[in-house]
Amino acid sequence: MLQVEVRRPNRGDIDAMEDFFRVVITDTFAKEGLSDLSEDIEQEIDSKNRYLNADFDTHGEERYFLIGLLDNNIVSCIEFGPSNTLIREATDGELRDVVEIGTVFVHPDYQQQGIGSLMLNVMYLTLLIKGMTEFCLDSGYSQAQKIWKKKLGEPDYVLQDHWGSGADHLIWKRRLADVPVLFRL
C-alpha cells in the first residue's frame, strides 16, 4: 500500500494546490466528455482556490482542508464546510446546517489505489473529533456518482436531468455512526 502522508495544507502549498486542482478538474471534465467547457473548468478551479483561501483566512473555521502527499507531492485532497447553495436549495433548506464533505480529489495517476478511501476515513475521524455527527455530499459527475453509490449507498435526493437529459445531480446525507466504511481502508 502507498504511504500517503495526510496533513493540513499551509500557505506554501498554494501554488501546488492550484496546479493539483487544474490537473484533477481538467481530467474529470475530460472523462465526463466535457473538455470543451473551458469556462466551467476555470470556474471550478477558481471555486476550489477560493475554498482553500477561506480555509487559510479563517484557520479552518469556514473551510477545512486535508491534503495527501506521496514523496512530497500532492496526490489528494478533501475538505468540509457549509453545504453549498445547490444542496440547500434542492433540499428546501433541510441541509443548511449540515456540513458538506467536498473537494474529494485524487490525482488521475493515483486513482483506484485506496487513497480516496484513506482521505475519506481521515475526514470522518476529523468530523467526529470536532463533535459533528452527520454530513452531506453531492455530485454531478457520473464517474464520481458510481463511487459514492458504492461507498454511501443510494442518494437521498436526485435532481433528475439537472445537468441535461440523463445527467442527474445526486445528494447524500449520512450520520457518521451509520457510515459502513468508517475505519476500514
- The answer to whether position 111 is within a domain reads yes
Total of domains in the chain: 1
Domain range spanning residue 21?
A: 5-138
- The answer to whether position 163 is within a domain reads no
- The answer to whether position 174 is within a domain reads no
Work out the pLDDT band at 184, boundaries 50, 70, 90: very low
pLDDT at 1: 65
- The answer to whether position 110 is within a domain reads yes
Task: Give percent of the chain above pLDDT 90.
Answer: 70
Residues 105-117: tens digit of each pLDDT: 999 999 999 999 9
Position 93 pLDDT exceeds 70: yes
Residue pair 139/169 in contact by the 8 Å Cβ criterion: yes
- The answer to whether position 157 is within a domain reads no
Q: What is the CATH number of the domain that holds 119?
A: 3.40.630.30
- The answer to whether position 82 is within a domain reads yes
Position 185 pLDDT exceeds 50: no
Which has the closest alpha carbon to 159: 90, 100, 85? 90
Work out the pLDDT band at 34, boundaries 50, 70, 90: confident
How large is the average pLDDT for residues 20-31? 92
pLDDT at 181: 54
- The answer to whether position 161 is within a domain reads no
- The answer to whether position 176 is within a domain reads no
Position 183 pLDDT exceeds 60: no
pLDDT at 180: 64
Work out the pLDDT band at 36, boundaries 50, 70, 90: confident
Spatial strand order in the sheet of 5-7: 5-7, 64-70, 73-82, 99-106, 134-139, 169-175, 157-159
Position 122 pLDDT exceeds 50: yes
